Amino acid sequence: MAIANSTEYAHLSGEDVEALAVELEAIRLDVEVSRGANDRAYICRAIAGQRCLDVAARLIIGGSRGKIGWTLGTVALAAAKSIENMELAHNIGHGQWDWMNDPEIHSTSWEWDMVGVSSQWRYSHNYRHHVFTNVVGVDDDLGYGVLRVTQDQRWRPANLLQPLRHLLLAAAFEWGVALQNLDSERDRVATPAQKSADTRALLAKVGRQMTKDYLLFPALGLTRWRRVLCANAIANLLRNLWAYSVICCGHFADGAETFDPVTLENETKPEWYLRQMLGSANFRAGPVLAFMSGNLCYQIEHHLYPDLPSNRYAAIARRVQAVCATYDLPYTTGPMARQYLFVMRTILKLTLPDRADECLNEAAPLEVRPTAA
């Protein structure tokens, strides 16, 4: 649907939308001017804690003799990889800590512990996803090109395989993201030489990642190389499943709206704010779950302020909820398990065609591709 046709938005006048944006901008300004030593200490502790957990997990995997120790080490390694991927790499890549001017904790220098290239992800995610959130045919993250997650997407016979595709995407999520990022990067460059350079960059990163996880660390395990190899593979799998689950809850849960490409025509900044609020969903989490999810349990706040420090999202959320109440706007949230079950229901339901597809199949939907930032 277009933002102007959304029932959640229809009761607001133009003046209301402008006033809403003023309140949201005030929240941004308050956080920006108050960033300081406490925020710096937070991200430094997070990095140090993640690295200590990673080292401890690998020592337990390599040094323990029984299955209990190996299992504990593997789970700890999966947790360390999840923290690095979500609370560190994802948020650092958004520029949340660029204000510190620390070259080691900067969006342009941090390379994450996944097969994808961080620089390619920043264009695909920060620009194409966050600017065009949930716009059908424009936001590549809407189903990742393999899942039908809204009736606004045309049904195709291949969607009958959605349950299997869903499982494969979850298990190989880092690979799906890496290939999607490469496609986005190749889509914006002009020359074959540039496209080839992007492909080589991804292959080089894959090579480094595979060498680290499946050659170097197993070799350091000496006679226990098999247990190290298996632990790394399972930790990567668990990290993929966790990251995929968090992302699903933030964008495909009930209450997260999708939009027609016409929404982008003459869209104002206040309307962009509205689209971010209506197109995202939260899930309730305590401090530990919030940290393990990269604070993406606050997906609404993240989409409103993707470059503000993640440790501020809990406080920001209280103010955003108050704004939503003032303007009678939905604030979609719920327990994580329930949000994920709703996503599964949607994926299974949209495996089959529906009546709306009769209209969608008569004429191809308008497709607007974003230009390079």
Q: pLDDT tens digits, residue range 55-88?
A: 999 999 999 888 999 999 999 999 999 999 999 9
Q: Quick one: angle between helices 37-63 and 67-83, nearest 10?
A: 150
pLDDT band at 145 (very low <50, low <70, confident <90, very high): confident
Give 286: exposed, middle or buried? Use CB within 10 Å, 0-12, 13-18, 19+: exposed
Task: State yes or no: pLDDT of 209 exceeds 50.
Answer: yes
Kindly state whether residue 45 falls inside one of the protein's structural domains. no
Asked if the structure places residue 122 within a domain, the reply is yes
% pLDDT > 70, the chain = 92
What pLDDT, on the 0 to 100 scale, is given for residue 7? 65
Top-confidence residue, 188 or 4: 188
Helix (H, G, I), strand (E, B), or coil: what is residue 259?
Answer: strand
**229 belongs to a structural domain:** yes
Mean pLDDT score of the chain, rounded to an integer?
A: 91
pLDDT of residue 184: 85
* 310-361 per-position pLDDT tens digit: 999 999 999 999 999 999 999 999 999 999 999 999 999 999 997 644 444 4
pLDDT tier for residue 189 given thresholds of 50, 70 and 90: confident
Measured CA distances, 2 to 10, 35, 129, 265, 342 (Å): 11, 36, 17, 10, 23
Check pLDDT > 80 for residue 155.
Answer: yes
At residue 361, the pLDDT reads 45
Residue 340 lies in a domain: yes
Those residues whose C-beta lies under 8 Å from the C-beta of residue 294, and which sit 6 or more positions away, are 83, 85, 86, 87, 90, 91, 246, 310
**Is residue 362 scored above 50 in pLDDT?**
no
DSSP for 130-168 reads: HHSTTBTTT-TTSSTTT---STTSPP-GGGGGHHHHHHH
Angle at 282 between CA 135 and CA 328, to 5 degrees: 80
Q: Which domain holds residue 231?
A: 3-31+113-360
Per the CB < 8 A criterion, the answer to whether 352 and 151 are in contact is no
Tokens encoding 296: 């993406």
Distance CA 168, CA 150 (A): 20
- The rounded distance, in Å, linking the Cα atoms of 151 and 355 is 9
pLDDT tens sequence across 161-179: 999 999 999 999 999 999 9
Question: Which run of H or E residues covers position 364?
Answer: none
Q: Which one-letter DSSP state was computed for residue 127?
A: I
Q: What is the DSSP string of 58-115?
A: HHHHHH--SHHHHHHHHHHHHHHHHHIIIIIIIHHHTTTTGGG--TTS-TTT---SSS
**pLDDT by residue (tens digit) across 22-56?**
999 999 999 999 999 999 999 999 999 999 999 99
| Res. 253: pLDDT tops 60 | yes
Output the six-digit token pair for 201. 């960059």
Exposed, middle or buried by CB within 10 Å (0-12, 13-18, 19+), for 347?
A: buried
1 DSSP 8-state letter: -
Count up the domains in the chain and report the number. 1
CA dist 186 → 252, 289, 301 (Å): 26, 36, 30
Asked whether residue 59 is domain-assigned, the answer is no
Taking every pair of Cα atoms in the chain, the longest distance, rounded to a whole number of angstroms, is: 70
Q: Name the percent of the chain lying above pLDDT 90.
A: 81
Residue 70 included in any domain: no
Q: Tell me the HSE value of 29 on the side-chain side, using a 13 A CA sphere.
A: 6
Q: Residue 370: which pLDDT band, with cuts at 50, 70 and 90?
A: low
Residues 85 and 113 sit within 8 Å (Cβ to Cβ):
yes
Question: Which pLDDT score is estimated for 365?
Answer: 44
One-letter amino acid at 218 equals P
Flag whether pLDDT at 11 surpasses 90: no
Name the 3-class secondary structure at 284.
strand
- Based on DSSP, count helices (H) and strands (E) in the chain, helices before strands: 17, 0
Q: Is 63 domain-assigned? A: no
Grouping H, G, I as helix, E, B as strand and the rest as coil, residue 11 is: coil
- Does residue 81 sit within a domain? no
Q: Give per-residue burial for 229-253: e unless 16+ CB within 10 Å, then b.
A: bebbebbbbbbbbbbbbbbbbbbbb
> Residues for the chain: how many in total?
373
